[in-house]
Amino acid sequence: MRILIGTVEIAGQIPILADAFRRMGHQVTTVIKERHAFFSDTHYDVDITEQALPWPDGRFGKDSPALKKVARRNLNRAAILARVSPLIARHDLFVFLWAGTSLTERNREFPILKRLGKNIVSFFCGSDVRHSSGYSQLFAPLISNRSVEDWHGIRDDFATEPLARPLRDMRMAELYADLILSVPNNSMLGVRPYQHFFVPVNLRDYQSSIPERDVPVVVHAPSDKGVKGTPKIVAALEQLRSEGVPFELRLLHGVPHQRVLSELSDADIAIDQLNLPLHGMFGLEGMASGCALATCNREDYEPFPQNRPIWHIDAVNLHSGLKRLLTDKQLRVGLAREGRKYVEQHHDHVQVARRVLDALKAVNLQYDHYPTFFGRSYKLEQGEVVPEYLKRMTASIVQRWGLPKDVDPNEMIRRGLMSAEALTSSRPVPRWSEEPIEPTIVAV
């Protein structure tokens, strides 16, 4: 199979997935449109970043800034189109990380890919499809235990835009992709069933070493201090230090990825995040490196897979939870040993890639997740309006993929989430026969 993977770099996952598919015998082309600062040296087969597009500034002469901006945009589009057309012609499968960004602006090539009989796989990665309105409604019990400052830190990360932006990017994938991979805390706005996104890890890059120190080395490497809850984590650690609990903290922020991996290989504990109910890439790297992982680990919100070997911490138990982990060597070592096994079982990159291809070939795929929140419960915030074209897209997706048995499409229309135009009386909305793997939310 000829596979294209791109176009936004998220924690080095493009080359990891490419390596996995190549090991399975497929031809792979990596394409980059948005690089990651921590992976600036990563090689990609095709570069369509703006900096790589050839156009001379002098060409615009003394035109006004507004005209220069229009000219730049038009030339960029022309240059991208010249590079994209051959890529579309010679590939069978298109794997895109980060909804809304693909080979062209706003996924304009998706309808073309489908008309040509190409396959599309879309990975939802986080803020590409999250919005604070969904987060605040679905995760109300978690938020209620946080200070106003904590919530603003989270909200600012993925609520600087109107709802229409993440909703549109998600709906484009739900409408055109052959397969979607995500997790529940990314899919609060979703209406289409999807497979679980096991973040791929190339285990050859990680040396698992369990130091078994009496005084543990702790690594915390936040990509975003507000989202990860770094101020509270550091404050709790300093309080424990003042109480006489011995440990060494290595706080890393804005450092190259290889430095983080080096520190993890020599650490006893990795602390990931407080504000989202599942680990991120850093948490997996910690487990793969032989660290005991401490992070928010709410199986009532993120039930799949169950029994994760993770030490749960949140805003409520932060002090007591960290104290137990820092002072119980046997607990740390046990978690570290099980953590490496967990990554090998669920996140090995070849296994993740094989799972994608198996799902594409399945005749009657049993999905990992059947989203219910948006259809059952989501409400628009005051002053927020879903554009009509997005209402129609939502209706088209619902007409194709269905709804939970207890969700009334007319109620979604009354809430301003969906249009009646794309629903037809001759084709009743399908209903999911399987119970969705969704959590029963319980307050802390």
Phi and psi (nearest 5°) for 366? -90, 110
CA distance 433 to 8: 36
Spell out the per-residue pLDDT of the chain, length 444, in tens. Answer: 999 999 999 989 999 999 999 999 999 999 999 998 878 789 999 998 876 655 555 555 555 666 666 666 666 667 777 889 999 999 999 999 999 999 998 999 999 999 999 999 999 998 899 998 888 888 776 665 555 455 555 555 555 678 999 999 999 999 999 999 999 999 999 999 999 999 999 999 998 999 999 999 999 999 888 878 899 999 999 999 999 999 999 999 988 889 999 999 999 999 999 888 999 999 999 999 999 999 999 999 899 899 999 999 998 899 999 999 999 999 999 999 999 999 999 999 999 999 999 999 999 899 999 999 999 999 999 989 999 999 999 999 999 999 999 999 999 999 999 999 878 777 889 998 655 444 333 333
Quickly tell me which residue has 């698992």 as its tokens.
Answer: 208
Give DSSP secondary structure letters for 279-317: --HHHHHHHHTTPEEEE---TTT--SSSS---EE--TTT
Q: Which of 15, 57, 17 is nearest to 35 (CA)?
A: 15
Start-to-end CA span in the chain (Å): 48
The whole-number pLDDT of residue 439 equals 36
Three-state SS at 403: strand
Residue 282 carries which side chain, given as an amino acid letter? Answer: F
CA dist., res. 325 & res. 43, Å (int)? 39
Query: What is the spatial distance between Cα 192 and Cα 129, in angstroms, rounded to a whole number?
Result: 13
Q: Determine the longest span between alpha carbons in the chain, in angstroms.
A: 71
The span from the CA of 227 to the CA of 249, in Å, is: 20
- Phi first, then psi: give them for residue 4, nearest 5 degrees: -110, 130
Beta carbons of 220 and 313 less than 8 angstroms apart: no
Question: Partners of 223 in the beta sheet?
Answer: none
Q: Whole-structure pTM over 0.75, yes or no?
A: yes
Paired sense of beta strands 2-7 and 248-251, if any: unpaired
Domain 204-346: homologous superfamily in CATH: Glycogen Phosphorylase B; (3.40.50.2000)
Query: Computed over its alpha carbons, how large is the radius of gyration of the chain?
Result: 23
Is the bond leading into 42 cis (omega within 30 degrees of zero)?
Answer: no
Residue 199's alpha-carbon distances to 125, 235, 422, in angstroms, are 9, 30, 35
The torsion of the CA quartet 391, 396, 402, 403, rounded to 10 degrees, works out to 0
Q: Give 231-237 contacts, CB < 8 A, sequence gap 24+.
A: 231/149, 232/150, 232/274, 232/315, 232/318, 233/271, 233/274, 233/318, 236/318, 236/319, 236/322, 237/322
- At 51, is the secondary structure helix, strand, or coil? helix
417 three-class SS = coil
Q: Identify any residues that bridge with 85 across adjacent strands, giving them in sequence order.
A: none
